[in-house]
Chain A
């Protein structure tokens, strides 16, 4: 019994969710496709005020804005996924997310909202390595088709690494 448990491989990340009835996701549209982040990371959906661009900013960092007295950074995930820009206008909607100590606003082509999937509908992303799949935590199979669930912590980590000088 003991040796069996020692030989067992590390569990897949979504296996920890197995005891749950469902997993809550927040769906959004990027690059013409459906993505999601874990709903627990989304604090609120807002309409951004004017976004102030920062000098010498990387393309994924659209700028900063004032959210009820708190200055938040605005990130365009499409830039990290495929080096493409999401069109953002004054009053565009954004999702305010908190991943660990990182609080920021995410823009998307559309914010679709909450949905629930059973843990059995989650599987690991198809490939790894550079490219969009490096930012995926898992793929969720929904009635509307597959949904790529973003690994927000990984996106922030890569964004920071890419911005290091030299």
Chain B
């Protein structure tokens, strides 16, 4: 049976998953760290204690999260792409799929894409101000 390694984390009290291979490292720090994305479609962690670091265009960027629970190996069959209607109509490409865990559905986050989108959002807000 094919398996996948996913890293479980939480933002704003809600659990999410990311392909472990998308995370370069887990940073410890505070919200004042440069290069940290503190707000995304997943929410804004009130007291971010960890950052999920991804490499983007040769630079390291981190998504601030509340908690990192650890890596779990799940059967590949438990990971589904988003239904096509959802994929084509939601206003983000930062959710790559759904992980079924017992009775819970977790968003499988596309970390580089989510960071990219959130950075653009931040830049456009900064320009507006």
Within 8 A of B (CB), among A142-160: 156, 159-160
Within 8 A of B (CB), among A71-86: 71-73, 75
With CB as the reference atom, state the residue of chain B lying closest to A63: B86
Set A65, A70, A75, A101: member contacting B105, Cβ < 8 A: A65
Q: Residue B85 at the A interface, CB < 8 A?
A: yes
Chain B residues closer than 8 Å to A50, beta-carbon distance: 103, 105
Interface string of A36-58 (1 = CB under 8 A from B): 00000000000001101011111
Contact A159 B85 (CB under 8 A): yes
On chain A, which size bracket covers the interface? 20 to 34
Contact A61 B90 (CB under 8 A): yes
Chain B residues closer than 8 Å to A160, beta-carbon distance: 85, 88-89
Contact A102 B85 (CB under 8 A): yes
CA distance A158 to B100 in the complex (A): 30
Contact A71 B82 (CB under 8 A): yes
Among A56, A159, A160, the most chain B Cβ lie within 10 Å of the Cβ of: A56
With CB as the reference atom, state the residue of chain A lying closest to B41: A55
Set B41, B85, B91, B107: member contacting A73, Cβ < 8 A: B85
CA distance A69 to B99 in the complex (A): 11
Interface string of A122-158 (1 = CB under 8 A from B): 0000000000000000000000000000000000100
Set B82, B91, B95: member contacting A165, Cβ < 8 A: B91
State the Cβ distance, B55 to closest chain A Cβ, in Å.
Answer: 24
Q: Residue A104 at the B interface, CB < 8 A?
A: yes
Within 8 A of A (CB), among B29-43: 41-42
CA distance A58 to B91 in the complex (A): 8
Chain B residues closer than 8 Å to A103, beta-carbon distance: 83
CA distance A56 to B89 in the complex (A): 9
Q: Residue A163 at the B interface, CB < 8 A?
A: yes
Contact B89 A159 (CB under 8 A): yes
Q: Residue A116 at the B interface, CB < 8 A?
A: no
CA distance A103 to B80 in the complex (A): 15
Chain B residues closer than 8 Å to A56, beta-carbon distance: 41, 90-92
Q: Residue B84 at the A interface, CB < 8 A?
A: yes
Chain B residues closer than 8 Å to A156, beta-carbon distance: 85
- Given contacts A56-B41, A66-B100, could you give 19 more A-B pairs where the C-beta distance is less than 8 Å? A50-B105, A52-B105, A54-B90, A54-B95, A55-B42, A57-B90, A57-B91, A58-B89, A61-B90, A64-B82, A64-B86, A64-B98, A66-B105, A70-B80, A103-B83, A104-B83, A163-B89, A163-B90, A163-B91
Closest 10 CB pairs between A and B? Answer: A56-B91, A163-B89, A55-B41, A73-B83, A73-B85, A52-B105, A71-B80, A56-B92, A73-B86, A57-B90
